[in-house]
Amino acid sequence: MGGHDDKIKHALQVLIAASLAEGKHLGSPTRGDAEDRARATDLALLATDRDIERAEALINEMIGEARKLVEQHWSEIEALANQLLVKGTVNLLEAGALELR
């Protein structure tokens, strides 16, 4: 994958990781889960020139990577989520700008 596709791959990671983190924080899948899956599918199809098999493989790869990232950074994610719940906003400069790479 080249430049444009790398951006799509990164967007997929972010979308999937956000959905996984939200589900983990709440203890169950969320209302936005089906919408997130539809967006992920659209992005994967875009990245693979509408090749359904490659798109499914890409999504599965991104789910695996996103799960690792969420587990690896769970304490930071949870702290940001709690800050968001308490303050209604997250200042990433104050929070140390979590970087999931």
Reported as a single tens digit per residue, the pLDDT across 33-83 is 788 889 999 999 999 999 999 999 999 999 999 999 999 999 999 888 887
Query: For position 90, what pLDDT does the model report?
Result: 64
**Which two three-digit tokens encode residue 95?**
């929070």
Q: Is the pTM of this model over 0.85?
A: no
Question: How far apart (Å, rounded) are the C-alpha atoms in residues 7 and 73?
Answer: 21
Query: For position 6, what pLDDT does the model report?
Result: 87
Q: How far is CA 62 from CA 9, 21, 59, 73, 90, in A?
A: 8, 14, 5, 16, 26
Question: How far apart (Å, rounded) are the C-alpha atoms in residues 66 and 19?
Answer: 10
More confident residue, 44 or 6: 44
**Which two three-digit tokens encode residue 90?**
């997250």
**Residue 78 C-alpha from the chain's centroid:** 14
